[in-house]
Amino acid sequence: MNLDMVVRSPRIPGPGENVCGAGFRMVPGGKGANQAVAAQRLGSGAVLLARVGDDFFADFLTGKLESAGVEASLVSRTGERSTGVALIVVEEGTGDNTIVVDPGANMTLSVDDLDALEEYYDGARSALFQLEIPTEVAREGARRAREQGVTTILDAGPPRGVDLPFLRAFDVVSPNQDELSDITGEDVTDIATANRAARGLVSEGVPTVVVKMGGAGSLLVTGEGSWHVPSFDVEVVDTTAAGDAFTAGLATGLGEGMELTEAVCFANAAGAAAVTVMGAQPSMPARRQVQALIDSQGVECTPL
Ligand code: RIB
pLDDT in tens, 130-148: 999 999 999 999 999 999 9
Question: In this predicted structure, what is the pLDDT of residue 40?
Answer: 98
Question: In this predicted structure, what is the pLDDT of residue 172?
Answer: 98
C-beta 64 within 6 A of ligand 1: no
pTM over 0.75, yes/no:
yes
Residues 6+ apart with CB under 8 A from 207: 171, 172, 222, 223
Of the candidates 8, 30, 4, 37, the residue with the CA atom closest to the CA atom of residue 21 = 8
Phi-psi region for residue 161, left (φ > 0), alpha (ψ -120 to 50) or beta?
A: left
Contact between 142 and 169 (Cβ < 8 Å): yes
C-beta 34 within 6 A of ligand 1: yes
Mean pLDDT of the chain: 97
Q: Which segments within 92-149 are labelled E, that is strand?
A: 97-102, 126-129
The yes-or-no answer on residue 171 being catalytic is no
Of the candidates 31, 34, 38, the residue with the CA atom closest to the CA atom of residue 252 = 38
Q: How far is the CA of 194 from the centre of ligand 1 (A)?
A: 23
Q: What are the beta bridge partners of residue 41? A: none
Model confidence band, residue 246 (pLDDT cutoffs 50, 70, 90) = very high
C-beta 101 within 6 A of ligand 1: yes
- Mean of the pLDDT values across residues 269-289? 98
Q: Tell me the best of 5, 31, 238 to mutate to test the pocket of ligand 1, counting ligand atoms within 8 Å of each CB and taking the most.
A: 31
Of the candidates 126, 97, 155, the residue with the CA atom closest to the CA atom of residue 283 = 97
Model confidence band, residue 178 (pLDDT cutoffs 50, 70, 90) = very high
For the chain, percent of residues with pLDDT exceeding 70: 100
Q: How far is the CA of 280 from the centre of ligand 1 (A)?
A: 7
Question: In this predicted structure, what is the pLDDT of residue 64?
Answer: 98
- The CA-to-CA distance between both ends of the chain, in Å, stands at 37
- Mean of the pLDDT values across residues 199-220? 97
- Mean of the pLDDT values across residues 160-181? 97
Q: How far is the CA of 178 from the centre of ligand 1 (A)?
A: 15
Model confidence band, residue 300 (pLDDT cutoffs 50, 70, 90) = confident
**Is pLDDT above 90 for 150?**
yes
Question: In this predicted structure, what is the pLDDT of residue 75?
Answer: 98
Residues 6+ apart with CB under 8 A from 79: 53, 54
Q: Tell me the best of 7, 34, 238 to mutate to test the pocket of ligand 1, counting ligand atoms within 8 Å of each CB and taking the most.
A: 34
DSSP code, position 234? -
Q: Hey, whose CA ends up nearest to atom 1 of ligand 1?
A: 241
Model confidence band, residue 281 (pLDDT cutoffs 50, 70, 90) = very high
Residues 6+ apart with CB under 8 A from 163: none
DSSP code, position 78? -
C-beta 241 within 6 A of ligand 1: yes
Q: What is the dihedral of CA 121, 124, 129, 133, to 10 degrees?
A: -40
**Residues of 179-198 as b/e, b for ≥16 C-beta within 10 angstroms?**
bbbbbbeeebeebebbbebb
In tens, the pLDDT along 100-120 reads 999 999 999 999 999 999 999
Contact between 34 and 241 (Cβ < 8 Å): yes
Cβ neighbours around 86 below 10 Å, total: 23
Question: In this predicted structure, what is the pLDDT of residue 11?
Answer: 96
Q: How far apart are CA 251 and CA 268, in angstroms?
A: 12
- Mean of the pLDDT values across residues 212-234? 97
- Mean of the pLDDT values across residues 62-77? 98
Assigned fold of 2-303: UDP-N-acetylmuramoyl-L-alanine:D-glutamate ligase (3.40.1190)
Amino acid at 258: M
SS3 (DSSP) at 113: helix
**Is pLDDT above 90 for 299?**
no
**Phi, psi (deg, nearest 5) at residue 250:** -60, -45
Element (H, E) at 142: helix 135-147
Q: Hey, whose CA ends up nearest to atom 7 of ligand 1?
A: 30
Choose, from 171, 182, 238, 244, the residue flagged as catalytic: 244
**Is pLDDT above 90 for 276?**
yes
Question: In this predicted structure, what is the pLDDT of residue 104?
Answer: 98
Q: How far apart are CA 50 and CA 84, in angstroms?
A: 11
**Is pLDDT above 90 for 16?**
yes
Q: How far is the CA of 96 from the centre of ligand 1 (A)?
A: 13
SS3 (DSSP) at 141: helix
**Domain extents for the chain?**
2-303
